[in-house]
Amino acid sequence: MKPIGVFDSGVGGLSVLAALRAELPHERFVYFADTAFAPYGERGDAYVIERSRKVTEQLIAGHGIKALVVACNTATTAAIHLLRAEHPALPIVGLEPALKPAVATSRTGHISVMATRGTLASAKYAGLRDSFAGTASIRAVPCDGLVKAIEGFDTQAISALCARYMAEAGPFGDATGEVDTVVLGCTHYPLVKNQLQRHAPPTLRFIDTGAPVAQQTRRVLAAAGRLSGGEGGLILQSSGDRSALEAAAARWLQISPQGTTAASA
């Protein structure tokens, strides 16, 4: 049974992986964390494109993947169009900040998007944001350093940065002019959602892309006749410290992989 490849610059894509495994329990997955070359969100497009190509080629050559999920907003905006052009026979699913459901559910029409600078500076994000011009007020909140803190399990830094960026994302509430919806536009951020919620009223909505991406992956596989009905499984790979990835999977998602291997893409 061929697996589905999933990759991110680090452990953030584990939030997407969790949604994928819940939606597709009979599938095998290979998760690749490119931690030796992270973070992507504070790099230029050329760097992200090069890494995305190499990781994709590694997953194809090493595992014969039947589909690919780019579990990284920055890699999606920079590289997914090239990956699709270079691998036309491979179904590829990417991410984008969940502005559409945020706008659809917001009562006040005021939304904050927490994301990396790479995502917020991209033409793809600008086009998505501009498509809602006149419909909603959308505030960008670049969260420098938060990915690094999550990758390093730096509890003190995570707490301080969550407080800082939530302050920038507000004021929160249901009154006119207040933000009632926050889009988590980086796959790392759902991992610290509980920390973010400490600085928000209970009515504030947080929206991420895990479940929609998992549902789209199911649709794509079904259309291609590639859904599996066997026993699911997981392999974790990293270009950096594999034990750190395993620890992150255990800590954030209580995932115990069936097998793990090193990688040098």
Q: Where are the alpha helices (DSSP H) in the chain?
A: 14-23, 45-63, 73-86, 99-105, 117-120, 123-130, 146-151, 155-169, 193-197, 210-223, 242-253
Q: Domains in the chain and their CATH numbers?
A: 4-95+210-262 (3.40.50.1860), 99-207 (3.40.50.1860)
Closest C-alpha among 180, 179, 177, 147 to residue 162: 147
Q: In the beta sheet, which residues pair with residue 6?
A: 31, 69
Mean pLDDT of the chain: 92
Whether 264 shows a pLDDT value over 60: the answer reads: no
pLDDT mean over 102-116: 96
Burial class (CB in 10 A: 0-12, 13-18, 19+), 218: middle
Q: Where are the alpha helices (DSSP H) in 152-241?
A: 155-169, 193-197, 210-223
Percent of all residues in the chain with a pLDDT value above 90, rounded to a whole number = 78
173-191 pLDDT, tens digit per residue, is 999 999 999 999 999 999 9
Active site residue ranges: 72, 186
**How high is the pLDDT of residue 241?**
86
Give me the residue label for tokens 């491979």.
90
**How high is the pLDDT of residue 120?**
92
pLDDT mean over 84-97: 95
Name the band, by pLDDT with cuts 50, 70 and 90, for residue 97. confident
Q: In the beta sheet, which residues pair with residue 137?
A: 110
**Is-contact 70 94, C-beta < 8 A?**
yes
Lookup: tokens for 185: 């536009």
Burial class (CB in 10 A: 0-12, 13-18, 19+), 203: exposed
Whether 89 shows a pLDDT value over 90: the answer reads: yes
Whether 259 shows a pLDDT value over 70: the answer reads: no
**How high is the pLDDT of residue 1?**
86
Global pTM value:
0.87
Q: Specify the higher pLDDT residue, 261 or 219.
A: 219
Q: How many CB atoms lie within 10 A of CB 228?
A: 16
